[in-house]
Structure 1
Amino acid sequence: MSNEIRWGIVGPGRIAHSFADDLRLVGGGRLTAVASRDLGRAKDFAKEYGAESSYGSYREIFESDAVDALYIATPHTSHCELSVQAMNHGKHVLCEKPMGVNLPEVEKMVAAAQENQVFLMEALWSRFNPSIVKAKQLVDEGVLGDVSYVNANFGFYALDRDKEGRLLNPRLAGGSLLDIGIYPIFLAYLLLGKPQRIEAISKFHATGVEAQTAMIFDYPYAQAVLSSGLRSKISMKAEIAGSKGSLYLKERWHETQGYMLELNGDEEAFDLPTKGRGYSHEIEEVHDCLNKGRLQSERWSWRNSVDLATLLDEVRRITGVTFPFE
Structure 2
Amino acid sequence: MKKTWKWGILAPGKIARKFTTELQTLDNAEIVAVGSRNESRSAEFAAEFGVEKAYGSYEELATDPDVEVIYVASPHSHHAEHAIMCMNQGKHVLCEKALSLNLKEVIEMFEVARKNNVFLMEAFVTPFQPSYRKAKEIIESGELGKLQYLHGWFGFNSAPYDPQGRLFNPELGGGSLLDIGLYAVFDALWFLGSPKDISASAALTERGIDTSLTMRFDYPEGVFASLYSSFYTASGPGCDIFCEKGVLRITRRGILHQQLETRSRGTDPVRYTWEGDECGMKLEAVEVMKCLDEGKMESEVMPYSRSFELMKTLDSIREHAGIHYPGRG
Q: What CA deviation, in whole Å up to 9, does each residue of 1:53-95 have, x standing for no partner? A: 1110111111101210000001011000000010010000000
Q: Could you tell me how far apart the structure 2 residues matched to 1:58 and 1:259 are?
A: 40
**Distance 1:274-1:247 versus aligned 2 partners, 3 A rule:** farther
Deviation at 1:236, TM superposition (A): 3.6
- Residue of structure 2 in register with 1:314 after alignment: 316
- Residue of structure 1 in register with 2:128 after alignment: 128
CA contact (8 A) 1:25 1:276 kept: no
Is 1:258 aligned to residue 262 of structure 2? Answer: no
Match of 1:296 among 279, 288, 298: 298
Q: What CA deviation, in whole Å up to 9, does each residue of 1:30-55 have, x standing for no partner? A: 11110000111111111211211111
Q: Could you tell me how far apart the structure 1 residues matched to 2:174 and 2:54 are?
A: 29
Give the SS at the match of 1:108.
helix
Q: What are the ranges of 5 or more consecutive residues in structure 1 without an aligned counterpart?
A: none
- Residue of structure 2 in register with 1:190 after alignment: 190
Match of 1:275 among 270, 274, 277: 277
Give the SS at the match of 1:200.
strand
CA contact (8 A) 1:202 1:211 kept: yes
Q: What CA deviation, in whole Å up to 9, does each residue of 1:178-201 have, x standing for no partner? A: 100100000100111100001111
**Distance 1:93-1:117 versus aligned 2 partners, 3 A rule:** same
Instruction: State the superposition RMSD in angstroms.
Output: 1.7
- Residue of structure 1 in register with 2:32 after alignment: 32
With the length of structure 1 as denominator, give the TM-score of the two structures: 0.95
Deviation at 1:255, TM superposition (A): 6.4
Q: What CA deviation, in whole Å up to 9, does each residue of 1:243-281 have, x standing for no partner? A: 122111124587651211113332111112242871111
Deviates more, 1:105-114 or 1:140-149: 140-149
Q: Could you tell me how far apart the structure 1 residues matched to 2:64 and 2:41 are?
A: 18
Deviation at 1:158, TM superposition (A): 4.3
More strand by share: 2
Deviates more, 1:264-273 or 1:215-224: 264-273
Query: Match of 1:286, as an amino acid?
Result: V
CA contact (8 A) 1:159 1:168 kept: no
Matches within 5 A, 1:13-32: 13-32=13-32
Q: What are the ranges of 5 or more consecutive residues in structure 2 without an aligned counterpart?
A: none
- How many residue pairs end up in the alignment? 325
Is 1:70 aligned to residue 106 of structure 2? Answer: no
Deviates more, 1:172-181 or 1:158-167: 158-167
Query: Match of 2:288, as an amino acid?
Result: V
Q: Could you tell me how far apart the structure 2 residues matched to 1:236 and 1:121 are?
A: 23
Deviates more, 1:70-79 or 1:141-150: 141-150
Give the SS at the match of 2:112.
helix
Query: Match of 2:227, as an amino acid?
Result: L
| Percent of aligned pairs sharing the same letter | 38
Q: Could you tell me how far apart the structure 1 residues matched to 2:189 and 2:171 are?
A: 28
- Residue of structure 2 in register with 1:245 after alignment: 246
CA contact (8 A) 2:93 2:119 kept: yes
Q: What CA deviation, in whole Å up to 9, does each residue of 1:154-203 have, x standing for no partner? A: 11224521112110111211110010010000010011110000111111
Give the SS at the match of 1:260.
strand
Give the SS at the match of 1:177.
helix
